[in-house]
């Protein structure tokens, strides 16, 4: 455990160790940006089908991109202690390579708390949608890792992997 992690206080726990939603009402609104990424590994034949648009369910990349965008708007309903945020922008990029699809989500808001969970949710749900669209041809696809790459804004400032 790093020294910073040892000093970190779990803000979602009250003094008795019970889960709580953090009070953010007095925090200033600032621009918040988070970037997350992940991948779906697959057989090369599956990647070729996706790139050629020949998967029976339709345009895999378009559906996965839309699923990621929609997921951002629903994050606070999926993750119990997340605040609903005023999202100002979402970009979900999906690049299909030889044997994997790389997913990158950038989420922006001007609000009192960060958008890291929204970016991570976008990548996760886009990966799940991609899997769902292509599972008929490749049930051996593997999702992950999904990670936060960068966050900007708020009291903790800028962090980058």
Report, as residue numbers or ranges, the catalytic residues: 132
CB 128 within 8 A of CB 104: no
Give the Cα separation of 112 and 110 in Å (integer).
7
Residues in contact with 76: Cβ distance below 8 Å, sequence separation at least 6, in sequence order:
82, 83, 84, 85
Q: Which residue has the tokens 């206080």?
A: 9
CB 12 within 8 A of CB 83: no
Q: Which sign does the torsion angle of CA 69, 72, 78, 79 carry?
A: positive
Torsion angle defined by CA atoms of residues 19, 25, 28 and 30, in that order, rounded to the nearest 10 degrees: 60
């Amino acid at each position: 455990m790093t020294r910073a992690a040892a000093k970190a206080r779990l803000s979602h726990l009250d003094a008795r160790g019970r889960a709580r939603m953090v009070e953010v009402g007095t925090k200033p609104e600032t621009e918040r940006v988070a970037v997350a990424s992940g991948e779906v590994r697959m057989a090369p034949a599956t990647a070729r089908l996706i790139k050629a648009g020949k998967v029976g369910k339709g345009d895999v990349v378009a559906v996965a991109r839309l699923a990621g965008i929609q997921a951002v708007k629903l994050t606070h309903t999926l993750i119990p202690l997340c605040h609903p945020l005023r999202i100002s922008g979402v970009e979900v990029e999906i690049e299909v390579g030889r044997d994997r699809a790389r997913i990158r989500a950038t989420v922006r808001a001007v609000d009192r708390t960060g958008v890291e969970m929204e970016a991570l949710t976008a990548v996760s749900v886009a990966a799940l949608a991609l899997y769902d669209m292509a599972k008929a041809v490749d049930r051996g696809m593997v999702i992950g890792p999904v990670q936060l790459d960068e966050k900007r804004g708020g009291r903790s400032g800028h962090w980058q992997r």
